[in-house]
Structure 1
Amino acid sequence: MSNTDWDSKTVIGRGVRPSGGAPSSSGPTAYERAKQVGAITENDRKVTAGTNKGHVGTDHQRIAKLDRDNEVAPPPKVAPTVGKTIGQKRQEKGLTQKDLATKINEKPQVVQEYESGKAVPNPQILAKLERALGVKLRGKDIGSPLGGPKKK
């Protein structure tokens, strides 16, 4: 065995590079190398890195806004003729809005919204109002008396 074999050291661990040279002081990071090659641009770097909030609020808010913007028209409201008919028939029967609401098991505000034409029509509520007032509120002949069961 030669003397040089005993004198050389094998170091295992940090700082050892396969090239055999001493480790250079801080070289370019992976990010800097990718930027030099053109693999990424400045905008690709995450602004909210290290947090779990980057995608949660902003993406969902943007999507919700797009959904609102893409709505063609707001939901339809009750026709004015329906509201007037409800009000007239209710008064003919001597009922207040509260009385009618109690009769159909709804809040007085619901009856008020239907009479003023601000409510979005709900077939179940309209059916209750039809039965309570005895008039048609849906279809062609709004305001006509409500017929009984169909006969064969």
Structure 2
Amino acid sequence: MSDFDTKVLYIGQKPKVTRTAKTNAEINVLLQAARRVGAIVATNKKVTAGLNKAHQGPDHRRIANLDRENEVAPPAKIAPSVGKAISAARLECGLTQKEVAQKISEKPSVLQDYESGRAVPSDQILSKLERILAVKLRGSEIGKKLTPPGKKN
């Protein structure tokens, strides 16, 4: 059987094709027309209309509220007195920032941040600086000279 034999040819008017309405106004007009004719009309409302589960955007208000509730304070910077003690001890030893940074295996920018008070304190770096500069940088007596172990005053 060829494709020609299966085609239906309409002469005159085409059969009416049911069409789907796109807007609420069109839907209401079609429903009223069907009710006037006496047709049984049943409408079903979609439960999940407008919810595309595969593509849900973030709820920005909820996220913003969570951010405001859980504000985390920025980490404390090093005290200016520690930076001044580091700078004074370094100059007293006659060392440059670059030389001290090489001795503690850090970048010179890290030492600059410590001396200016912009750095977040690290116990490892502070202990290395205390050992190299022989100055106390933690605790209550910041800037006090440390005596090498074995020597007593």
- Quickly name the TM-score band, shorter chain normalised: 0.5 to 0.7
Partner amino acid, structure 2, of 1:103: K
> Structure 1 vs Structure 2: percent identity of aligned residues?
46
Q: Which amino acid aligns with 1:78?
A: I
Point out where structure 2 has 5 or more consecutive residues left out of the alignment. 1-39
Tell me the residue number matched to 1:107: 107
- Residue 149 of structure 1, CA deviation: 4.2
1:140 corresponds to which residue? 140
Gaps of 5+ in 1: 1-23, 33-43
Q: Secondary structure at the match of 2:84?
A: helix
Shift of 1:60: 9.3
TM-score (norm 1): 0.60
Q: Using the alignment, how far apart are the partners of 2:139 and 2:68 within structure 1? A: 34
CA distance 1:112–1:67, change in 2 (3 Å):
farther
| Aligned residue identity for 1:54 | G
Alignment of 1:51 onto 2:51: no
> How many residue pairs were aligned?
113
Q: What CA distance in whole angstroms lies between the structure 2 residues aligned with 1:85 and 1:116?
A: 11
- Cα 1:108–1:59 change in 2 (3 A) is farther
Moved over 4 A (4+): 57-61
* TM-score where L is the length of structure 2: 0.59
Deviations 1:101-149 (A, max 9, x none): 1100011111000000111111111001100101100011111112344
| Matching residue of 1:31 | 47
User: Match of 1:128?
Assistant: 128
**Aligned equivalents of 1:63, 1:126: Cα separation in 2:** 38
The CA distance in 2 between the partners of 1:63 and 1:97, in whole Å, is 45
Answering whether residue 78 of structure 2 is matched by residue 75 of structure 1, we say no
Distance change >3 Å, CA 131–CA 63, structure 1 → 2: farther
**For the residues of structure 1 that align with 2:66 and 2:105, how far apart are their CA atoms?**
34
| d(CA) in 2 for partners of 1:142, 1:88 | 12
The amino acid that maps onto 2:140 is K
Cα separation, 1, equivalents of 2:142 and 2:47: 71
Q: Deviations over 1:43-99 (max 9, x none)?
A: x953xx1434534x858954773366x23x432111111100101111111211111
